[in-house]
Amino acid sequence: MDDINKQYSLSEVGSIVSIDPSKIKDRVSPELIELLNDRPNGKIVGYRITDGTQIGLILELSNGKTVWFFQDEIKESIKTRSNQKSSKISLISRERGIKVNKEISYLVNPTNFINWLLYSIKDVQ
């Protein structure tokens, strides 16, 4: 039960992180292991809810492919976004997300439901 309550400090989208290839050998292809042994860094491009108890990180690797990893498969954050332009982009993308409104008229509005549904299923593959 402690695992469910465990809080993760997620790295920011746009941060560069290092992947630990030894922790993922059993679930990825040999080609990916070879790539990560040579260049184990990736840029965080998003998050993914994995099994209801953890949040995975979606990384763009040096070959351009996007792959997701569990938080515990990441060694360290190498570089974080710190420039103001990146912060503005992040703020704009948050503003486009679903707004929290607790009024019943907002909740039963079909347009808001469809927006929520599209936003929620974007990570489903």
Question: Domains along the chain?
Answer: 2-79 (2.30.30), 84-121 (no CATH)
- What is the DSSP code string of 53-80? S-EEEEEEETTS-EEEE-GGGEEEEEE-
At residue 73, φ and ψ (nearest 5 deg) are: -90, 0
Task: Return the structure tokens found at 35.
Answer: 């790539």
The pLDDT assigned to 33 comes to 83
- Residue 40, judged by CB atoms within 10 A of its CB (0-12, 13-18, 19+), counts as middle
Q: State the sign of the Cα–Cα–Cα–Cα dihedral 95, 82, 20, 25.
A: positive
Residue 91 pLDDT exceeds 80 = no
The pLDDT assigned to 39 comes to 86
Residue 6 pLDDT exceeds 60 = no
Residue 99 pLDDT exceeds 80 = no
The pLDDT assigned to 38 comes to 86
Bridge partner residues of 18 (DSSP): 41, 76
For tokens 């503005």, the residue is 88
pLDDT tens digits for range 8-64:
566 788 888 888 888 887 778 888 888 888 888 889 888 887 766 777 888 898 888
At residue 33, φ and ψ (nearest 5 deg) are: -60, -45
Alpha-carbon distance of 45 to 71, in angstroms, equals 14
Share of the chain above pLDDT 90, in %: 0
Among 41, 93, 49, 39, smallest CA distance to 71 is for: 49
The pLDDT assigned to 7 comes to 47
Classify 29 as helix, strand or coil. coil
